[in-house]
Structure 1
């Protein structure tokens, strides 16, 4: 089982549509650690770490998002793992 960490940015209609709530549910279901938050620019930012297949599954899920979202673009890049993370949380401004 290979571990990985990714920084993910999701753009489109992703704020005010429970995107963070559904992201936390999916990440928890996949056994990932990390966080999700809105950005001031109107996108959603995610740090996801854990099993590489699970992280990739979350990235694929981001293209669908929450039921009321309309995702235009998903970007991801490698990130440095945060060994202090104990679960997956929603961050606020």
Structure 2
């Protein structure tokens, strides 16, 4: 089990990125979450078998059919043992 946090920049909000990510993660057997961030990026956490998580990181580089991905930052983290993949609300602006 591994965990990766990704922050995706580009035209990634309002283009079904989060919902497509949720469906794709469920199909891949990956748990975690995805949310829009106030700065216009999308943040996601993927947990699962290495091959499945790598598949989701690769998907994040392409995004949903309507998105335009300019960049992806990837951070390795310790797995938390998440049980599902969910869409989380956007955090409040400071």
Structure 1: segments with no counterpart, 5+ residues: none
Aligned residues: 90
Partner of 1:88: 85
Q: How far apart in 2 are the matches of 1:59 and 1:34?
A: 12
Structure 2: segments with no counterpart, 5+ residues: none
Q: How far apart in 2 are the matches of 1:75 and 1:54?
A: 18
CA RMSD of aligned residues (A): 0.8
User: Which runs of at least 4 in structure 1 moved beyond 3 Å after TM superposition?
Assistant: none
TM-score (norm 2): 0.92
Paired residue secondary structure (2:62): coil
TM-score (norm 1): 0.93
